[in-house]
Amino acid sequence: MVDFKTKSNESQQKDYKERFEFVFTTDGNIICQRYFRINNFNPTSLRSYELTNAIRRCASVIDRDLRDKTQIYLSIYAPRVFDTQKQMEEYIAKDENFAKMTIGEGLVVRGNTETDFVLCADKTAKPIGSKFDDGELTEANPEDNKSSYKFAFKVDGQEVCSIAWDGYYPKFVRDKIDLSNKRGKFSEEDTEHLTFEQYLLYMMVKDKSDLVYGLIKNICYACSYPDSKDYTVDVDDIFDCWNHDSAVLLYNLV
């Protein structure tokens, strides 16, 4: 028996799916995928320098975002080290020292194998109940932090253009990738009640905007020139990230 309801739903999903999409993957796993439409789409763009350059810019935006988050993460996660808890408390109590520190900054007392601390706004050190360094900061082989990333532009399910790169971001940053930068958004008044992990996320996305809209805007602009003559299609090496076979299949381009 044919399930007409299921068949109808599948047909509706296909009808509503936009032709254009970008896919961002890490080690082959999809992290972010968005479908969108391009008004006044110009097929010539699929073999243009302008499109390949737009995809490069998108990859650069993502890489820069992850690098920024890595710096923020390390500034908090890489702790200050003290010989005794008393030394730590005396250091924090001095106004000139406290002014140089960041709320939420990690603090370590040598010999304390049970817990490390974070700096609070009231000049106290709050125990977090765990140790900062699980080996990631002192690992002998930086290749352990290496992952492969890829940003691809597709039309009708066919990959037309993509950029791949290797990134060396910390595991925490890799595991929390969110191009919308919405995960970890908390009001500043709530920061005192956040767990250490929530605070890390909060600081990494603080003042950051949603990247998705800008990525889509870059691609749409590159693919919608009114006049095909405005595209650059005869420059050496412009096809480094362009899938010629897909473009020919989609639009019979040569």
Label residue 50 by pLDDT band (50, 70, 90): very high
Cα separation, 216 vs 38, in Å, equals 9
Label residue 252 by pLDDT band (50, 70, 90): very low
- pLDDT for 226: 94
Q: What is the mean pLDDT of the chain?
A: 81
- Reading the block at residue 110, the tokens are 């040598």
Cα separation, 18 vs 35, in Å, equals 6
Cα separation, 232 vs 46, in Å, equals 11
Match 């890490």 to its residue by tokens.
Answer: 26
Cβ density class 136-170: b for 16+ within 10 Å, e for less:
eeeeeeeeebebebbbbbbbeeebbbbbeeebebb
pLDDT for residue 145 is more than 80: no
- pLDDT for 244: 52
pLDDT for residue 23 is more than 80: yes
Question: Are residues 137 and 77 in contact, defined by beta-carbon separation less than 8 angstroms?
Answer: yes
Cα separation, 81 vs 64, in Å, equals 29
Residue 174: count other Cβ atoms within 10 Å of its Cβ: 19
The three-point CA angle 34-35-37 to 5° equals 135
- Reading the block at residue 90, the tokens are 């005396």
Label residue 137 by pLDDT band (50, 70, 90): very low
Cα separation, 185 vs 203, in Å, equals 9
- pLDDT for 141: 45
Question: Are residues 194 and 185 in contact, defined by beta-carbon separation less than 8 angstroms?
Answer: no
The values of phi and psi at residue 95, to 5°, are -60, -40
